[in-house]
Structure 1
Amino acid sequence: MTNSPYLISPSLTQEQLSIEKTVKLGVMASGSGSNFEAIALAINEGKLNAKIEVLIYNNPDAKVKERADRLNIPTVLLNHRDYKTRKALDQAIVEVFQVHGVEWVVMAGWMRIITQELLNAYPQKVINIHPSILPSFKGINAVEQALSARVKVTGCTVHLVDLEVDSGEILIQAVVPILADDTADSLHDRIQIQEHRIIVEGISIALSRNS
C-alpha cells in the first residue's frame, strides 16, 4: 500500500491485498472522470487485477466519456432525465451491468442517489468515493461544507454503499489539511490527488475479502 502520512488504512500486507481472479468492474460516473481514469491506469499498470467492462454515465456532456474512448473502454449513456424514477434508472443500470457480466460496481463521481434496486443486484459489492472524511460532511458540496465549518482537516473516503447517502462500511480514508488561503477549487484539487490514490487501494481491499 502507499506510504503516506495522510493515509488512514487497515493494516494489510500486499499479499493480503492480492487478488488471484481478474474481477469484472462496472463503473458509474457523472463528471470529468479523473477517478475513473485512475482506476483504469492502475489496471493497465498491473496494480489492480480487474477489468472495467463498461462505464455508465448519466450526463451527455460528461468528460468521462472522452477518457473512456481514449482508453478503449465501452460506454453506455443512461441519461437520468429519461427515467421517471430513480428505481427505473437503477433497473436500467443493472440490466447494462448484467449484460456485460459485471461483478462489482464502482461509483466514481456518480452524482445520483441510488436505490435498493442496485444494492439488491450487487449486495455489499458497490463501492463509492466521497470527498470528505466520513461520517463528516455527507451529501453534495462536501468541500464547501468543510470550508464553512472551519475545520482544520478534511479528506476523502472509499466505502461500501448502503441505502443511506454516503454511509456503509469505510474501506480507507485519506486526510487533507485545509490551508488558510484555500478556496473550494484549491482544496478540491488537493483532495482529488488523494482520491486517485485511495480509490484503487479501496477497491483492492474490498476485492481481497472476496477473492
Structure 2
Amino acid sequence: MRIVVLVSGTGSNLQAVIDAVKAGELDVEIAAVGADRPGTYGVERSAAAGIPTFVVDFKAYADRAEWNAALTEAVAAYEPDVVVSSGFMRIVSPEFIDAFDGKYLNTHPALLPAFPGAHGVRDAMAYGVKVTGCTVHWADAGVDTGPIIAQEAVAILDDDTEDTLHERIKVVERRLLVSTLAQLAAA
C-alpha cells in the first residue's frame, strides 16, 4: 500500500510510521511526505529518512481553492492508495477527498464524535470527562465527522494539564495509527 503523509508540525506520528516500516512491522511504502508550510520538522524527518518531500505553502496561494487544487496535484503525483493526515492542520476540500476516492485517513486526539475540531484535548478537559482518547477515521467533508476506523481510550488524571494529557494521547495515537495502517495494508 502506497501512502502520502501530510504534516503541519513535528511529524511525531509520521516518525512512528517511518520506524514501523524500517522495523518491518508495517508493510507500506511512504511515497512522499507533504507539508502546508515550509520549515516543518516533519519534512526534515522525512528527508533524513530518504523519503521524497514537498511543500504546498498555504500562504503562497490567493485563496483556499487554489491551494486545494495545488495540494491535490502534488499528492496525486505520488499515486497513493491512502493519504494520511498526520497532524495536518488544514481542512481540505471535498474535491481533494474525492480525488483519492475518500481514502483520506485522519487522526484526532479525542474519542469522536465527542470533541471534534482543533482543540479536542482542551475541550475534553473543560467538559470534565474522566476518559478521552484518540480516533483514527476516514475524513469526509465535515470536521472530524468521517467514519471511525479505530479508537483507544486514555484516562484523564486528576493532576493532568492539557499538555500532559496531550502527550499521553500522542503515545496512544502513534500506536493506533500504525496498527490501523497495518490492518488496511493487510486487507
Give the TM interval when normalised to the shorter protein.
Answer: over 0.9
Q: Deviations over 1:125-159 (max 9, x none)?
A: 11000000000100011111111111101110000
Give 1:101 deviation, angstroms: 2.3
Q: Which amino acid aligns with 1:104?
A: V
SS in 2 for 1:162: coil
Contact 1:86–1:113 (CA<8 Å) still a contact in 2? Answer: no
Match of 1:53 in 2: 31
What are the equivalent positions in structure 2 for 1:75-86 lying under 5 Å apart?
75-86=53-64
- The letter of the residue matching 1:159 is H
Unmatched tracts of structure 1, length 5 or more: 1-22
3-state SS, counterpart of residue 59 of structure 2: helix
TM-score using structure 2 length: 0.95
What TM-score, normalized to structure 1? 0.84
State the one-letter code of the partner of 2:158: A
Measure, in 2, the Cα distance between the counterparts of 1:39 and 1:93: 22
1:164 to 109, 128, 142: 142
Contact 2:152-2:176 within 8 A present in 1 as well: yes
Contact 1:54 1:73 in 2 (8 A): yes
User: Which of structure 1's runs of 4+ aligned residues deviate more than 4 A?
Assistant: none
Which amino acid is the alignment partner of residue 162 of structure 1?
A: D
Aligned length: 187
Unaligned runs of 5+ in 2: none
Q: Secondary structure at the match of 1:193?
A: helix
Query: What pairs with 1:1-16 in structure 2 (closer than 5 Å)?
Result: none
Deviation at 1:58, TM superposition (A): 1.2
Letter in 2 for 1:110: F
Following TM superposition, by how much is the alpha carbon of 1:60 offset from its aligned partner in structure 2, in angstroms? 1.8
The one-letter code matched in structure 1 to 2:101 is P
Q: RMSD of the alignment, in Å?
A: 1.3
